[in-house]
Chains A and B, each alone.
Chain A
Amino acid sequence: ILNVEQSPQSLHVQEGDSTNFTCSFPSSNFYALHWYRWETAKSPEALFVMTLNGDEKKKGRISATLNTKEGYSYLYIKGSQPEDSATYLCAFLQGGSEKLVFGKGTKLTVNP
C-alpha cells in the first residue's frame, strides 16, 4: 500500500501570513503529483498537476514545487486570506498505475 503523507495535519495562521505545507510520497517510480483545494461543504478543486522533477507551478498567491528524487512537494500560500481556509489535498500517481492515492490533507484556517 502506497504511503502519501501530508504535514502538518492542520494549521492556523493570521491573515497576511505566508505559509507552506508538505506532501511526501514514494521516491521510486514517480509519475505525477496532484494538488487539490477542498473547501468545507464543497467539492475538491484541482490546483496543480505536476509531472517533472523541479517543476514549479503558480496560480495567483498559491505555488507548488516538486522534488521527485527525494519524494516531496511543497505548497506555498503567500499573504494568506480568510478565503484560503480549506483542506489542501495531494494525490500521488505511481508509474504503471491508474490509481491516484490521496493524502489525508492539511486543513488550513486563516484568521482575520
Chain B
Amino acid sequence: EAQVTQNPRYLITVTGKKLTVTCSQNMNHEYMSWYRQDPGLGLRQIYYSMNVEVTDKGDVPEGYKVSRKEKRNFPLILESPSPNQTSLYFCASSLSSPRTGGAREKLFFGSGTQLSVL
C-alpha cells in the first residue's frame, strides 16, 4: 500500500531532551516536507527536500533540523525541544516538487505526530 509512515503518533517529552520524528514513504517520491499545525493557524512549512541531500528551510525552521540521506526517509530532529514546539506535526511527500505543476504534485500526508514539550 502506498503510504507515508510517520512515527510516533504521540510523544510527550521534556524541555531540552533531543528527539527525532521519523518519516518514510514507499512511493519513490522526490519531494518531502514537514509541517506543523497550531490552533488558529494554517499548516506551516518547517523544512522541505527536493531530493536526496537537498534540503531547504520553510517558513518556521528555527529549532529544527532535517536530513535526507535516502530518498524514502526524511526525519525531523529537535535538538533541544522547547514548549513552543508543542504542536501537531505532519510529514508529506509528492512525486515531484510543487513547481513542476499538475496532479503529480499533490501531497500525500503521514498520520501526524502530536508532540507535547513540558
Q: Which residues of A contact B (CB under 8 A)?
A: 1, 4, 31-32, 34, 36, 42-46, 49, 51, 89, 91, 93, 97-105
Contact = CB atoms under 8 A, between A and B. Distances in A.
A102 B42 contact: yes
Q: Give the interface size bracket for B toward A.
A: 20 to 34
B109 interface: yes
Given A98-B56, A98-B98, A89 B105 contact: no
Interface in B39-85: 40-45, 48, 50, 56, 58-59
Interface of B: 4, 35, 40-45, 48, 50, 56, 58-59, 90, 97-99, 101-103, 105-112
B98 A93 contact: yes
Nearest to A90: B42
Contact of A43 (B45, B48, B112): B112
Contacts of A44: 43, 90, 107, 109
A101 B107 CA distance: 13
Contacts of A51: 101-102
23 contacts: A1-B59, A31-B99, A31-B101, A32-B98, A44-B107, A46-B108, A49-B106, A51-B101, A89-B42, A89-B43, A93-B99, A98-B48, A98-B98, A99-B45, A99-B48, A100-B45, A100-B107, A101-B42, A101-B59, A102-B43, A102-B44, A104-B41, A105-B42
